[in-house]
Homo-oligomer: A and B are copies of this chain.
Amino acid sequence: MRATVIHAPHDIRVEEVPDPRVQEPTDVVVRVLRACICGSDLWAYRGESARQPGQRIGHEFLGVVEEAGSGVAGFGPGDLVVAPFVWSDGTCEYCAEGLQTSCPQGGFWGSVGSDGGQGEAVRVPFADGTLVKLPAAAASDDRLLTGLLALSDVLGTGHHAAVGAGVRRGSTVAVVGDGAVGLCGVLAARRLGAERIIALGRHRARTDIAKTFGATDIVAERGDAAVAAVRELTGGQGAHAVIEAVGTEQSMRTAVGIARDGGAIGYVGVPHGSGTGLDLSVLFNRNIALRGGVAPVRAYIPDLLPDVLDGTIDPSPVFDVTVGLDGVPEGYRAMDGRTALKVLVKP
């Protein structure tokens, strides 16, 4: 089959690789209908996260089960399924409590020896613990299918940030990061009942989506000016709940600066300097909690899926460019250059 391979920073290729096949009784093979490129893939693309030359890449996909191992109970050929960005056994203590990202048998798509999502097909370990079935009818609804793809990462990750930030009915929320995850954070915050959602961003195409998703205020300033603007909007206090969806020193510094005393920062931006932006004395003096991390998306899909299916939330606008598999390298360039928000891949 053909799949995306990363050879070196800025060297992403689509090439022939071995066809995936069932290796363990608990495996299935999924033929990919939709995949996409994640902001976190850019860390590898830019060489800021190490990859071995030849590793696959891509961790978001949905598709149709092609072959199922003898030990798979919940899925059979023809089933439409979505995969969270981490596989997990579904049976351990962590899986039972909804922290599948800590499953000792879990792993990331595209890690050494595993398929990535940006390819024609994927071998899925622990299919019963990992995959979630989607209604077959969704396969013929292009927009819905695209929205459902967001369940594999960005929507659940935005939701994790909102949960970590303690968003509840009536909350004032501020969102740092105008990428797909930040925008999904806006969507998740609205879904959880936030009364006011302040989105930080200066790119019109993105802030327009933020408004569609429920943002009540847009702050275009950056750094100290952004902190001042959010404080002015909140009677000087800052936001109860802050979503940090970038992971840099600057973004975390801003998140701390705009948080209200006694509030919380829900952080889901993969840390790339954000630890340095975290002044513990400030958090301490102002009792600001920090809660987040790699999102246990698998746990959230059952909650979020009905709302996507019935149209209560529609994350599909975060995908603004569509490519075929051959277009994946160009998709990386577009996201790296911020000319694309999030690239949808139709293999």
Q: Mark A226-239, 1 if CB is under 8 A from B, else 0.
A: 00000000000100
Q: Is A133 an interface residue (CB 8 A)?
A: no
Q: How far is the CB of A304 from chain B (nearest CB, A)?
A: 18
Compute how far the CA of A70 lies from the CA of B74 in the bound complex, rounded to whole angstroms.
74
Number of copies: 2
Q: Is A8 an interface residue (CB 8 A)?
A: no
Compute how far the CA of A56 lies from the CA of B286 in the bound complex, rounded to whole angstroms.
24
Q: Is the CB of B261 within 8 A of A102?
A: yes
Q: Select the stretch in A60-68, A77-85, A290-298 that faces chain B.
A: A290-298
Compute how far the CA of A270 lies from the CA of B170 in the bound complex, rounded to whole angstroms.
32
Q: Is A97 an interface residue (CB 8 A)?
A: yes
Q: Is A279 an interface residue (CB 8 A)?
A: yes
Interface residues in A280-339 by Cβ distance below 8 A to B read 280-281, 283-294, 296
Across-interface contacts of A286 in B (CB, < 8 A): 102, 293
Q: Is A53 an interface residue (CB 8 A)?
A: no
Q: Is A94 an interface residue (CB 8 A)?
A: yes
DSSP class of A's interface residues: helix, strand, loop or mixed? mixed
Q: How far is the CB of A23 from chain B (nearest CB, A)?
A: 27
Q: How far is the CB of A250 from chain B (nearest CB, A)?
A: 14
Across-interface contacts of A281 in B (CB, < 8 A): 271, 275
Q: Is the CB of B279 within 8 A of A275?
A: yes
Q: Is the CB of B290 within 8 A of A290?
A: yes
Compute how far the CA of A275 lies from the CA of B275 in the bound complex, rounded to whole angstroms.
9
Interface size class of A (residues with CB under 8 A): 20 to 34
Interface residues in A87-104 by Cβ distance below 8 A to B read 93-94, 97, 99, 101-102
Q: Is the CB of A289 within 8 A of B288?
A: no
Across-interface contacts of A274 in B (CB, < 8 A): 280
Across-interface contacts of A102 in B (CB, < 8 A): 261-262, 286-287
Q: Is A267 an interface residue (CB 8 A)?
A: yes
Q: Is the CB of A290 within 8 A of B291?
A: yes
Q: Is A164 an interface residue (CB 8 A)?
A: yes
Q: Is A218 an interface residue (CB 8 A)?
A: no
Across-interface contacts of A97 in B (CB, < 8 A): 262
Residue from B94, B267, B270 within 8 A of A261 (CB atoms): B94
Compute how far the CA of A284 lies from the CA of B271 in the bound complex, rounded to whole angstroms.
8
Q: Is A122 an interface residue (CB 8 A)?
A: no
Compute how far the CA of A279 lies from the CA of B293 in the bound complex, rounded to whole angstroms.
12
Residue of B nearest to A276 (CB): B280
Across-interface contacts of A237 in B (CB, < 8 A): 93
Residue from B278, B280, B291 within 8 A of A289 (CB atoms): B291
Q: Is the CB of B294 within 8 A of A287?
A: yes
4 smallest beta-carbon distances between A and B, as pairs = A275-B280, A287-B293, A102-B261, A289-B291
